[in-house]
Amino acid sequence: MVFFSRVINWLDERFPIKAFYKKQFSEYYVPKNLNAMYVFGVLAMLLLFNQLITGIWLAMSYTPTAANAFASIQYIMRDVPYGWLIRYMHTTGASALFIVLYIHLLRGLMYGSYQRPRELVWLLGMTLYFIIMIEAFMGYLLPWGQMSYWGAQVITSLFGSIPVIGKGLEQWVRGDYLVSGVTLGRFYALHIIAFPILMVFLVYLHLSTLRHVGSNNPQGVDIKKHVNKKGVPLDSIPFSPYFITKDILAIAVFLFLFCVVIFFFPDGFGFILEKSNFEPANPLITPEHIEAAWYFSPFYAMLRAITFSLFGLDAKFLGMVVMMSSVLIVFFVPWLDKSPVRSIRYKGYLSKCFLGLFVVSFLVLAVMGSLPVSKATTWISQFATLGYFSYFLLMPWYSRFETTKPVPERVSL
C-alpha cells in the first residue's frame, strides 16, 4: 500500500493524475436516480475494447487474400493456440455490441436523452453507430465464406442502382467488376486500421460532450437547477465510487453471460456464425437465400420491402433510399421531438404508443429480414416499415399536441 501511494505520488509530480481522477471521477457528479439502463454505455466501451484487442490478435494469423482467407480462419480455429477463443470473442463480441447499442439507443429514446442540451451527444452517438455498421459489414467479408461473399456482393451492388453514377461507383467501391480479392484487401485495411481509429476518436468526442453537459436521468429532471454552496447538484452522487460500483456489477453479470455464449453456443444457433459461412466463397454458386447478419436484418427487410418502381426510379434504388433513410432519420430525433418534457414517464399516451409501435416494427422487421422472401414477408415488411417511419415522421405532431404530466422539480428514487 505504501509502495502504491509512493508510485502515485511519483507519477503525480510529473503528470497530474490526482487532479485528473478528481475531475473525471470522484468529483464528477451524476444524477442519483440513474437506473440499470445507464450501464449499457460502459458495456459498449468494454465491447469496443474487446473488438480492438481480439482483432489485433486475429490479424496476426489472418491472411487477407481470396486464395487463403478462408483457410487462414481454419488455421486460427484449429492450430493457433487459443485461436478459437480469440475468434469467438470477436464474433460474439460483434453481436453483443449491437445488442448493447440497441438497448443504449432505446434508453436514449425513452428518457429523451437527445433533447437540449444533449443534441451533440446524440449526433456523435449516431455517427458512431453508422461507422460501427460499416465496420461490421466490412469485417463480415473477411472470413471469405459463402455468406460473406454474397452479402458483400448484394450490398455493394446497391451502389450500382444509383442513376447515372451508379455503375462507376459500384466498381470503385469493389475495386473490381465483382467482389474479389481486391475488395477483400481494401475492406481488411479499412476494417483493421482506418475505422478503429475513427471509432476510438468518436467515442472520445461522445464522452467529452456528455461530460460537458452531464448525464440525463430516467425522470429527465434537470439536476443542475438545485445546487449546494459548492455548486454540487443536490440530487447527485459522485461517479466514483458510487456509480463505478454499479458499472462493475453490470460488467460482472455481462461477462458471465458472454462466457456462457462463447463456451456453450459460439455459433448462436446460426445467428452469430451463419451456417453457409462454413463453406468457402464461391463466385459461381449463389446461395438460395442470402441473409444479412441478424443486426442488419431490420434494415435488410426494409430494402426488400420495396418491390415497386416510382417516378421512373427502380425498386432496388428506392429500397436503398428507404434503408439509408431509416438510419439517417434517427439523427434528427432531437429536432423532431417537440415535447416540453424529456422522459417517457411524463409524456402522453401517443408518445408511449408510437414508441411501442417503433419497437414492435423493428423486431418484426428483424424477423422478416431473416426469412426467405415470400408474398407474406413482403407485405408484413411493408407494414412494419410504415410503423417504423411513422414513429419519427409523426413525432413533431404527436409530441406537440398530446397532454403531458408535470415533471417534478427534484428527482425521486
- Residue pair 236/31 in contact by the 8 Å Cβ criterion: yes
45 contacts ligand HEM (rule: CB under 6 A)? yes
Count of Cβ atoms closer than 10 Å to residue 401 Cβ: 11
What character string, x for contact with ligand HEM (CB under 6 A) and - otherwise, covers 121-160?
xx--xx-xx-------------------------------
Nearer to ligand HEM, 145 or 233 (CB): 233
Grid cell in block for residue 212: 460537458
What character string, x for contact with ligand HEM (CB under 6 A) and - otherwise, covers 46-75?
--x---------------------------
Q: Which stretch binds ligand HEM (CB under 6 A): 69-77, 110-118, 137-145, 287-295?
A: 110-118
Nearer to ligand HEM, 83 or 125 (CB): 125
Instruction: Quote the crossing angle between the two packed helices 181-189 and 166-174, to the nearest 10°.
Output: 70
| Count of chain residues binding ligand HEM (CB under 6 A) | 27
109 contacts ligand HEM (rule: CB under 6 A)? no
Backbone CA torsion sign across 272, 274, 280, 281:
negative
Annotation-wise, does 191 bind a ligand?
yes
203 contacts ligand HEM (rule: CB under 6 A)? yes
94 contacts ligand HEM (rule: CB under 6 A)? no
398 contacts ligand HEM (rule: CB under 6 A)? no
Nearer to ligand HEM, 144 or 294 (CB): 294
Q: Which of 377, 376, 356 is nearest to 366 (CA)?
A: 377
What character string, x for contact with ligand HEM (CB under 6 A) and - otherwise, covers 215-234?
xx------------------
196 contacts ligand HEM (rule: CB under 6 A)? no
Contact residues: ligand HEM, CB under 6 A = 38, 40-42, 44-45, 48, 101, 104-105, 108, 111, 113-114, 118, 121-122, 125-126, 128-129, 203, 206-207, 210, 215-216
